Structure 1
Amino acid sequence: MDSHYTYLLINFLTVFFPVILSFDKRVRFYSNWRFIFPGLLLTGGLFLIWDYLFTIFDVWSFNEKYIQGIAFFNLPLEEILFFITVPFACVFIYECLNYYVRRDILKNVTPVISWLLAVFSVLMLLLFYNRVYSLITFGLLLLTSFYFLWKRPRYLSRFYLAYFVSLIPFYIVNGLLTSLPVVIYSNLENTGVRVGTVPLEDHFYSLTLLFFNIAFFEYFRKSGGKHHDGNRIA
């Protein structure tokens, strides 16, 4: 296969099984698709602005060997699709866990996780405030952590569970993108710390991306008349 299809194929495989399994008679994820897409557009638009700026400041670049060459505002089509396919797959994981894992297993440690994220963000900002990717990622993580501690969203513990589980496909997808590499990071603009080939910042960039999408998903679902009891859709 032509290597120029690589990033496109990664996007396709990321979303393929969530789409097919959306029609499972128990979870019935397809019935909630209409509540996902407004959040995908709103969150994707915000993150794509940063993505565009990151390409300008050489935070990362894209290996032309693995992309089609179709670009919008200096961003490959595949990168734009990434902000649709990955959040969609993660919300699917969130909903499956809500249905199949009835017990709220992280409820008692949720405040601790939020405080740890906040403290960690401050530490990283103090150490790496002069690196663009680190500054944006940990700055956004700090603001998001404050929101967690202040508002304490009713679904926060369920979000944390979905995030931890999503790290499994995260390492597969981001591992491919960073090991080939499809996306080339400049260590001058991040901490230089990697888990395998995945930059440390990617883990928390992913966390905020996932939370924004789930927050919008829950908002639009509630506005649409469907409510969530913490374990499954009522």
Structure 2
Amino acid sequence: MNTYLYLFLNLGSLSIPLLYSIFEKKFHFIQYFKAACFSILTVAVPFLIWDALFTKMGVWGFNPDYHLSVMALNVPIEEWLFFFCIPYACLFTYEVIRYYLPNFKLSKAGAVLVCVLLLILTSTLLVFNFGKWYTSVNFIFFIILILYGLKNHLETLQSYLPVFAIILIPFFLVNGVLTGSFIESPIVWYDDTENLGFRLFTIPFEDVFYAFNLLFLVQLVFNFFKIKYHAK
């Protein structure tokens, strides 16, 4: 049964959002399914390349006790599914909250303040930990993404930042299991010499920013495709 744990985490994360997308008639997120798939695939490709490279380098790896034997680029098939199941669930969560709570967002000044504080934090940590692969690549990506968001998508940041705080709740549950919470050993292990070595429970601190990089980028691409396909 342990062998299927990573698969169950993926499918469990996807199941409720997908079913709700299909059968809920008011918001009916399934109408954006094509845009969602294109967005997730577009972002998944570079992240999977990143994942495969870091796996080969030993920055992180996977415990064979908790995943199937099917591998691609030395990465288990469940890790490939992760980049589709989790983004879909989070994309759905954001869109539903925006639909039912359109005023749930930060002010422009509030969004800028949060971004500036995060930029100061990540820039400082980057300077003192430059050369650690996970910290360096992750924080550089985050800094570029936030600066791009501030310049071109401030309105999206206003609504996305508070929703991301909500998304962190299931994130800590799922990623907690992946990194060893509630089980004997982690499904995904990390070489702590390539990160800050600081963990939130069992989760590397950088994972929060990695999640934002992945999910906010999916959201930006989805916003583009949603307009494109909806206009048609």
For this structure pair, what is the TM-score category when the shorter chain's length is used for normalisation? over 0.9
Residue equivalent to 1:66? 66
Say whether 1:132 aligns with 2:133.
Answer: yes
Query: Is the 1:193–1:199 Cα contact (8 Å) retained in structure 2?
Result: yes
SS in 1 for 2:179: helix
Q: Does 1:173 align with 2:178?
A: no
Question: Is the Cα contact below 8 Å between 2:61 and 2:189 reproduced in 1?
Answer: yes
Q: Where does residue 184 of structure 1 map in the other structure?
A: 189
1:148 is aligned with what amino acid? G
**Contact preservation (8 Å) 1:8, 1:78:** yes
User: Pairwise mapping of residues 10-49 of structure 1 onto structure 2 (< 5 A)?
Assistant: 10-22=9-21, 23-49=23-49
Name the structure 1 match of 2:55: 55
CA–CA separation in structure 2 for the residues paired with 1:135 and 1:97: 32
**Structure 1 residue 225, shift from structure 2 partner:** 3.1
Deviations 1:17-66 (A, max 9, x none): 10111131222111111111111111100101110111111111100000
Partner Cα separation in structure 2 for residue 145 and residue 155 of structure 1: 11
Q: Measure the CA separation in 2 of the matches of 1:36 and 1:105.
A: 22
Structure 2: how far apart are the matches of 1:157 and 1:168?
19
User: 1:59 touches 1:189 (CA, 8 Å); kept in 2?
Assistant: yes
Cα displacement string for residues 162-213 of structure 1 (whole angstroms, at most 9, x for unaligned residues): 2111001100100110113100111011000110001000000000100110
Q: Give 5+ residue unaligned stretches, structure 1.
A: 227-234
What secondary structure does 1:105 align onto?
coil
Q: Which runs of 5+ in 2 are unaligned?
A: none
After TM superposition, give the deviation of residue 161 of structure 1 in Å: 2.2
TM-score (norm 1): 0.93
- The match for 2:208 is 203
Task: Give yes or no for contact 1:132–1:190 (8 Å, CA) kept in 2.
Answer: yes
Cα-to-partner distance string for 1:60-112 (whole Å, 9 max, x where unaligned):
11000001010001110000000000000000110111012121431241111
Aligned amino acid, residue 134 of structure 1: T
The aligned residue for residue 84 of structure 1 is 84
With normalisation by structure 2, the TM-score equals: 0.94
Whole-Å Cα distance in 2 between the matches of residues 43 and 12 of structure 1? 20
CA distance in 2, matches of 1:113, 1:144: 14
Aligned-residue sequence identity (percent) comes to 33
- d(CA) in 1 for partners of 2:120, 2:146: 9
Q: Pick which of 16-25 and 133-142 moved more.
A: 16-25
Number of the residue aligned with 2:2: 3
Q: Matched residues in 1 for 2:75 and 2:122: separation?
A: 28
